[in-house]
Amino acid sequence: MFQVQQKRRIVTALGVFGIAGLAFLGAGSVQAVAPPVTDGLIFSMDAGDVTESGGVITQANDQSGRNNHAANATTGPTLVSSVTPMGQDALRFDNTLTQYLEIASNPTDFDGQAVTVYVVFKAATFSSGARLVNFGFDDVNPDPGITTPSGRVNGSFMQTDGRLIIQGRTATNGTTASVSTGLGLTNNTDFFLGSYSIYDSGNMQVTLYTKDGTIASAENTTGVATAVGQNHVKTLLGANGATSDPHAAPTGYFNGDLAAVLIYDHALDTNEQKQVEHYLFTTFFAHPGDANGDGMVNLADLQILGDNWQSTTAKWSLADFTWDGMVNLADLQIIGDNWGYGAGPDISFDAALQQVGIVIPEPASLTLLVLPLSLVLRRRW
């Protein structure tokens, strides 16, 4: 555990950087229990809040406060315990059993807007066209006599052939506009974080994160879609609402685990996306400061930070815990705040700084250096 005297030394040394209130908190900092962005959140689900009967999920409860609960119309998924990298439960969908969940019609929340969707998932198989989230609208998959406005799509979010895709069937001519990540779903053993946005400018963007923080993103800027459709029929989790008629029986069943789904009624801006994605990653994939994903924050993680100090092209596994692409004082702060998480370190944080070779200089220097392990820490307090 990080000792008080050692904490004072770090605070004193780092105070010259003008960082107000800097202090290492130690293990046991409280994890956020709700998404950091709640404005426009119309559906929020995780497997920790479900209604279950006889081992089958009868309803995934909506935590957004909008009461858009996802219930099973026929056969729901099952609950599996402690399966994400951080030990959370998940909903397991078996495509041979036609399992899915349905959010009932709610035009007030779902009609005619830009959207952002997040899914934490693991695919057991990479079946073609398997839907993670699928919206159904009468004007996009129209019944006879429905007027079809331009620029609308149904916004299917699916994995197919090892890729993550957002695909929209347009209202005007029935054709599809799609965009997929360049990074494939490389295996069926890991969880992934996927997101997509439909912007009112007409762009569609899809992003995929692997468990080590590798990011792949792709965007369609052709201006095909500016919003999802009108006359919301239903939204499905784990299935396609039907190719041509959202009132028909579902198809395109997903085979795998869903741990969380978030749906916003607008396209989040860059800062909001970063906040939500960082929240989901640190909730389901890795604890802050745990660079190597072993469930602990200790010397090994501090060594990774030292090896990548001042990198400007880093990712989580290279100790970029703030997701700004850089490894710097902010990331060191996060390791200090969470030192001892998990099984606990073999040495104190102060001793670990010395072993890795992190030098906290006198106030006149105004810099923090990370030196090779062969060099000895020189301190003067």
Helix, strand, coil percent content, the chain, rounded in steps of 5: 15, 30, 55
What residue segments make up the domains of the chain, in order of their start? 4-29+288-370, 41-284
Half-sphere exposure of 215 (CA within 13 A, CB side): 17
Distance, in Å, from the CA atom of 150 to the CA atom of 147, rounded to the nearest integer, reads 10
Is the Cβ–Cβ distance between 222 and 196 less than 8 Å?
no
4-14 and 349-356 helices, crossing angle to 10°:
50
Count of other CB atoms within 10 angstroms of residue 373: 11
Residues 199 and 268: their CA atoms lie apart, in Å, by 9
Alpha helices in 240-377 (DSSP H): 270-284, 299-307, 329-337, 349-356
Whether the CB-CB separation of 188 and 122 falls below 8 Å is answered with: yes
DSSP state of 197: E
Q: Whole-prediction pTM value?
A: 0.81
| Long-range contacts, stretch 370-376, CB < 8 angstroms, 24+ apart | 370/305, 370/306, 370/309, 370/310, 373/303, 373/306
Q: Which two tokens stand for residue 292?
A: 């190597």
Q: Which helix (H) or strand (E) holds 93?
A: strand 90-93
What tokens does 297 get?
Answer: 């924050």
| Architecture of the domain delimited by 4-29+288-370 | Orthogonal Bundle (1.10)
- Which has the closest alpha carbon to 210: 238, 181, 189, 185? 185
The domain made up of 41-284 has a fold known as: Jelly Rolls (2.60.120)
Name the residue among 101, 175, 174, 97 with its Cα closest to residue 131. Answer: 101
> Which residues does 126 contact at the CB level (< 8 Å), separation at least 6?
159, 160, 161, 162, 185, 188
Per-residue pLDDT tens listing for the chain (381 residues): 323 233 333 333 333 233 333 344 444 333 345 789 999 999 999 999 999 888 889 999 999 999 999 998 678 899 999 999 999 999 999 988 889 999 988 888 888 778 888 999 888 877 767 788 888 776 555 454 444 444 555 556 665 566 666 655 554 544 555 556 555 566 677 888 888 877 776 677 778 888 888 777 666 666 566 667 677 878 889 887 765 677 777 888 888 999 999 999 998 998 999 899 999 999 999 999 999 999 999 999 999 999 999 999 999 999 999 988 899 999 999 999 999 998 766 788 888 888 887 766 554 343 444 444 333 333 322
